[in-house]
Amino acid sequence: MQRNQKTIFKVLVMAFIGFTSFWRPLQGADYDPNPPFGLDQLKPIEIKDPLTQKTIQGYQPKNSYNIFINYELGMHCVGFDISYCCVIPPYNSIQAQVVESGRNGTKPKLLSPEDKVKLYYYLKDNSYSEGNKMRYWSVLKDVNGNGSLADPGDNMANYVWEHLFIYKDLEGTLPKDWSIKNRIRIGKDIMVPIDAGPSGKPLAGGYLEYAPDNGGNIVFTDSMIPEVKNVAIKLTASNIWDALGLPLTAFNDSVRKGTIRTITDKDFQPYQYATVQLHDDTGKPVLVDGKKVEFFGTNPVDIPNCVMCHSGEGKAAKLSRQAGFVLFEKEYEYWKKNYPDESEYMARLSASSINLLELHDKMFKTNFLKDYNPNASSNRLGSVGSVNCADCHGDNVSGNLQEPRPGTTGYKALKARPLTESIHAVHANFLADMNDKAGRTVSCQACHPTHWTNPNMNNFDTNPYQIIDSNGNNKYANADQRTAGGGCYLRRDAHSNPAVKPPFFLNSVGKWYLENVSTRDENDQPVSELRGLTCTNCHNQLSHELYKYDDLENEVSQEGKTLRNKSIDEIIKILADGEPKRFADMADPRIKDGNNPLYEFFNNHQGATLVKATKDSRGNVKLLAWNAKEGVPVPYEKASGGSDWWLAPAEPKCASCHAAPFVESMGGKYFPIDQPHKYSLYRFSKAHGKIACQSCHESIHGLYPVRAEGEEENTVDLTTHKQALQYSPDGRYAGPVSCSACHTVNAKGVPVQLVGTEYENDYWASVVLLHFMREGDEKLPIKELIQKYPYQKSRQIVIESWK
């Protein structure tokens, strides 16, 4: 009997433990409502609540003003020697928002030109490009198509933008009596000044332009549909100050002492300092305590690693020699023989460019090297001129929607696959064996920029964290690429930073990644320290499928049709016919036994529906929304030479892995880049009123907190880490910008405006609230705001999505 009593007691205890284990997440036992930072650097203050007249113990914002600085793409992958070809033109923007902090309990204010202020920008130690940093304006190209390369403005910097035009201004004004002959073409009618972007903003510094509620820097282009012309492209999101498309390089002024021929890997500084000052409308700096209001941000730029494989002893170079290609070898010999100051890197860079063109001529029957002169001191491609890849390959990144591009000179342009699809498809097939031990391709990080802030880590052979060596060989074939580093992603971004802590605010897909990818090693064994995600965990079929399924009525509540708020079992059932293996191929594509699920998807990719087409009573083409009940679906590839690559359909979404309201804005405001009833791109999205997501979280691929290990040589990027510390309440916290940056807060880091509400002592619930708040909500009285977004709902979201 006694034994039975012990047995029963043991069963009851185990049952109770099991019950409490189940109950714990529901009750939020692991839910710590305190902020993940201290308030050490904030000044204590006592203020009176205007309603209750009670004294509130508060803390002043650290800064009287905050200028949040970012770049919309995260890392611009661009060459600096455009003598032979231009894959992507130089184009780095400095974007900013400025907030006057709410001191003494007042509400913060997002500033615009109406507040009689201006923002002045410059780049630290980087004031020019053309010359010993870049060949772009000095590269000849027939812009006006008259057969001459001697006319004013006949250069590549003007040529690459000629497909964009305006009629009157950069505000999108379209005259009723417009005609093609009245178009003002960028690069042709409005020439791009040396060391400036296509909008005329100089690299050396100047004032940022402000984009109003409708967005800014609006240019036009034509589509593939003959009847659809004057497609407006908004290059700048609303309520953002920016200097558009600066021709930035990764080289600092103080480093570049010799000619461009002397550049080596050690010269690269990929995380550039962009500085922005607050001025009054007369141009005088605004001073606080006698000091200028000035902040800096990260402007990332680097070169793709073509040189590693396509020259020297790289794989492509070896195969080229075996196939009888000789011109790239002659290119290398010319530079090494005739110029004593030519570095090994620059000789290989030129050789790799010729190798790429040789391969292209052979594989696709082009004639880019028909006039190549291996002994010419300049313009080595002769009448052909430098090759602009977007002449044949549609490219949405540069706004070239037509295929081939009108105005092409030097060679006959052909209709080809979209630029990014072509590049990725060829390399996915050619580099199918370039994987880590888990079977995930390392080619993404191998090809995309991998230079480091510390120049001593830019030796590809000796840096133990570099994913490839100086000839493009995979150094992580028997390891996990997520433990490698360098470049725009690995060992840098919050998604690959092992030091990040909950809450992650994940939905069921995000939790699937956390369990099956982020906390498992290359042998699929659980690990205690986060390994995080890699490129193909976001850029994959699952992102496309989730986007395709969406037909949202409300982006924050996720009303309407979506899978993003469903269980993982429901998602697998609908997208993968209930097959977990098939879903894993979509979400975490790995190459095994010759099977490459990601390549198969991209190779057979069908673009999303852009619009539906019908005809009106007169027989004219009438375009309707993608989800209209009538009309014939028109996929992106019918309207855009770039298909849907690098537009909202093909880009990963925060909403794919994160629980609402940690999601993007509703699309449609930047059509055709995004669409109504779909999520917009992160770089266009806002929360907490008109505050850009990027203002608080930083640019994609560099999201706070970035990995930073101190001043040691293995640090990836100190720049973005130091940027985050400008807003830190304790000098240590470097996560997303907290409420305390702009608000007077209580001891819990919660804005004093919420004192007296249930949000008062719950930092994380208040974080949920600010993400709920969309444009216009910031104007609501507190009582109405918390009625619209009640505390219990916000608290429940924290509990359910803590990890």
Q: Is the pLDDT of residue 13 over 80?
A: no
Q: Which of 444-453, 513-522, 687-696 shows the lowest per-residue confidence on average (mean pLDDT)?
A: 444-453
At 713 the pLDDT is 60
Closest by Cα among 399, 467, 447, 14 to 236: 399
Tokens of 615: 């005809």
Average pLDDT, the chain: 92
**CA pseudo-torsion sign 445, 446, 447, 451:** positive
* Residue in the block written with tokens 């975490």: 588
Measured between alpha carbons, how far is 552 from 667 in angstroms, rounded to an integer? 10
Model confidence over 29-61: pLDDT tens digits?
468 899 999 999 999 999 987 767 788 899 999
At 10 the pLDDT is 42
C-alpha to C-alpha distances, 446 to 67, 306, 397, 790, nearest whole angstrom: 34, 9, 21, 47
Q: Is the pTM of this model over 0.85?
A: yes
Model confidence over 77-131: pLDDT tens digits?
889 999 999 999 999 999 999 999 999 999 999 999 999 999 999 999 999 999 9
At 712 the pLDDT is 67
- Of residues 10 and 47, the one with the higher pLDDT is 47
Half-sphere exposure of 54 (CA within 13 A, CB side): 8
Q: Which of 359-363, 466-470, 588-592, 603-607 shows the lowest per-residue confidence on average (mean pLDDT)?
A: 603-607
Q: Is the pLDDT of residue 389 over 80?
A: yes
**CA pseudo-torsion sign 189, 195, 197, 199:** negative
C-beta of residue 120 within 8 angstroms of C-beta of residue 98 = no
Tokens of 626: 């993608």
Measured between alpha carbons, how far is 539 from 418 in angstroms, rounded to an integer? 17
Task: Determine phi and psi for 90, rounding to 5 degrees.
Answer: -60, 135
Tokens of 201: 């903003």
Residue type, 128: Y
Measured between alpha carbons, how far is 329 from 351 in angstroms, rounded to an integer? 7
* Residue in the block written with tokens 């640019």: 699
At 766 the pLDDT is 98
C-alpha to C-alpha distances, 115 to 100, 111, 297, 684, 729, nearest whole angstrom: 10, 6, 23, 23, 27
Confidence class for position 729, pLDDT limits 50, 70, 90: very high
Confidence class for position 6, pLDDT limits 50, 70, 90: very low
Q: DSSP 3-state assignment of 170?
A: coil
Tokens of 513: 């990644």
At 284 the pLDDT is 98
At 202 the pLDDT is 98
For helices 568-576 and 541-549, the axis angle rounded to 10 degrees is: 100
Rounded to an integer, the average pLDDT of 709-723 is 80
- % of the chain exceeding 90 in pLDDT: 84
Half-sphere exposure of 413 (CA within 13 A, CB side): 19
Model confidence over 659-703: pLDDT tens digits?
999 999 999 999 999 999 999 999 999 999 999 999 999 999 999
How many other β-carbons are positioned within 10 Å of the β-carbon of residue 757? 18
Q: Which of 271-280, 366-375, 487-496 shows the lowest per-residue confidence on average (mean pLDDT)?
A: 487-496
Closest by Cα among 59, 212, 96, 110 to 779: 110
